A and B are shown apart, each in its own frame.
Chain A
Amino acid sequence: MNKNEGMSLIVKTITRLTVGLILLFGIYIVSRGHLSPGGGFAGGVIIALALVNLLLAYGTRGLKKFPLMAAEIIETIGALFFILISLFGLILFGVYFYNFLGTGRPFNLMSAGIILPANIAIALKVGAGLYGIVVALVLAKSLMEKK
């Protein structure tokens, strides 16, 4: 993994500065999904874009920190977590997808019952899944160029 893989030095330094901010913005969008626009999907895709940004700037060397298998595992964990949330309603109240956490006080973070944990589950799933798709496409293409 030589140094000059990925894009030029300027892009690498800019990415190093901005990746943290993009991730923070993604987490903000996910966590305030029920109060302001955004939610699990938008936040998840933003998180995926931050990681893809890292991958494109540093080339496949960036994969060490966040390998493809980790993305697959996080994605299935997110999916199982979301199914679990839906099942809790069935187990506790006998109604599938019931909001078993109540509605809480409006306009504050912990307010909307299952919406916040579900948003987190979706964000995990969408973020890791889309990152996995882009990594798989990038790896497939580099493999083909060698052929």
Chain B
Amino acid sequence: MVVYLLNFVLFGCGVYALMTRKNIIKMVIGLSIMEYAVNLFFIFLGYKTNGQYAFPIFFSDQKISFNQMVDPLPQALILTAIVIGLATTALFVAIAIRLYEKYNTFDISRIRRLRG
């Protein structure tokens, strides 16, 4: 329970960084931290007590029986989520570089040409 809460605190740090920082790169960092927190939370859901070496891989000389093993489904999902995070970050940085080329600053308050 404490571990889940600490995960949500990390998610809160990411949200806080995203809301209060005006620099685009800091927003990218805030977003990545939020992504890390959500991915880690999903993996914490699948952990089994003293399952540190109970990763879901079978070997010919099998020592761990399959009902001791950790939950493999969240791991398969989070592999996808990590690569989604990479895709979003790459697109974010590409747009940030082009914005820097156009506005010559990373500060979003000075980029405010459009009124929301």
Give A contacts to B, CB under 8 Å. 35-37, 39, 41, 106-107, 126, 130, 133, 136-137, 140-141, 144, 147
CB distance from B29 to the nearest CB of A (A): 17
Closest residue of chain B to A147 (Cβ to Cβ) is B101
User: Would you call A137 and B97 a contact (CB within 8 A)?
Assistant: yes
A37, A126, A133, A144: the one contacting B100 at CB < 8 Å is A144
Give the distance to chain A from B93, nearest Cβ to Cβ, in Å.
7
**Residue total for B at the interface (Cβ-Cβ under 8 A):** 15
Evaluate contact between A141 and B60: CB separation under 8 angstroms.
no
- B36 contacts the other chain (CB 8 A): no
In the complex, are the beta carbons of A144 and B97 less than 8 A apart? yes
Contact across chains for A137 and B101 when beta carbons are under 8 A apart: no
Whether a CB of chain A sits under 8 angstroms from the CB of B57 is yes
A140 to B99, CA, bound (A): 12
Residues of A within 8 A of B59 (CB): 107
